[in-house]
Amino acid sequence: FAYGDASNVKISDDFDANVILALNFLHHFNEEFIVEFATMLSKKFPKATFIFDYNVGVNKVEIITRRLLNLGFKMEVFPNEEFRGRVIFSITFDND
pLDDT per residue of the chain (96 residues) written in tens, 0 to 9: 667 777 887 777 888 889 999 888 888 888 899 999 999 999 999 999 999 988 877 788 888 889 999 999 998 888 776 655 678 889 988 755
- Give the number of other Cβ atoms within 10 Å of residue 56's Cβ: 20
pLDDT of residue 37: 92
What pLDDT is stored for residue 79 in this prediction? 76
Helix residue spans in the chain (DSSP H): 31-44, 58-70
Q: 88 exposed, middle or buried (CB, 10 Å; 0-12, 13-18, 19+)?
A: middle
Model pLDDT, residue 10: 77
Which residue from 40, 35, 96 is spatially nearest to 71, judged by alpha carbons? 35
| 3-state DSSP assignment of residue 66 | helix
Give the span between the Cα atoms of 50 and 52, in whole angstroms: 7
pLDDT of residue 85: 63
Residues near 32 by beta carbon (within 8 Å), at least 6 away in sequence: none
